[in-house]
Homo-oligomer: A and B are copies of this chain.
């Protein structure tokens, strides 16, 4: 009984099968009028705000429209629908999100490379908290629109960097721990400050910016963990 619901439930979210394709920047026409560029950007910005706070199903076009300062039909003039907006947003996000990890240089100093990665991630939480929450929402809700991206984009990158880490550990340049769980713990601790901002706000006693403290704390934590 509960099981059939789950199936039906997914159907609701995954309605459009190859949705990811639908909203990608069309390969042909690249020339967007200035007004097109401006309004598309407005819509994307508004959608980021709304989707990040309410998740896909909880967000409404009216809300996005109002936030963007455009009428709802006008928004549908620029995007094929709610899902297309969300997918476009997610596509853009993937690049931004994978970048810090991609930058970890196999030829750099191991410990400092990892630490730099961590600081980059902390910085992301500070500068792009909405993007972090958008991502968190999508994953929390089962990643119906993002799983393909995770498999095709994130997985290979993680497999690659996991091997780099393993090599560093084997060479004795880094303490030996499970590289995959190491990455998980980096993501968890850094993104936590964006995703659970409200909670942090309630608990942190007037500290100027909790993320400053986070940066220092995480530095010592991961340095202790990884120093051989």
Q: How far is the CA of A217 from the CA of B167 in the complex (A)?
A: 18
Q: Choose one: B57, B185, B216; the contact of A189 (CB below 8 Å).
A: B185
If A55-B55, A177-B217 touch, whether A158 touches B2 (CB-CB below 8 Å) is no
Listed by A's residue number, 14 A-B pairs whose Cβ atoms lie within 8 Å are: A5-B67, A8-B66, A9-B50, A55-B55, A55-B57, A58-B58, A137-B137, A139-B198, A178-B213, A182-B217, A184-B192, A184-B214, A188-B192, A221-B225
Choose among A158, A191, A224 the residue with the greatest number of B CB atoms under 10 Å from its CB.
A224
- With a cutoff of 8 Å between Cβ atoms, the chain B residues found around residue A58 in the complex are 54-58, 141
B interface footprint on A32-46 (CB within 8 Å = 1, 0 otherwise): 000000000000001
Q: Which residues of B contact A198 (CB under 8 A)?
A: 139, 142-143, 147, 150
From B9, B133, B204, A140 is in contact (CB under 8 Å) with B133
Knowing A58-B141, A141-B53, the reply to whether A177 touches B220 (Cβ < 8 A) is yes
Q: Is A81 an interface residue (CB 8 A)?
A: no
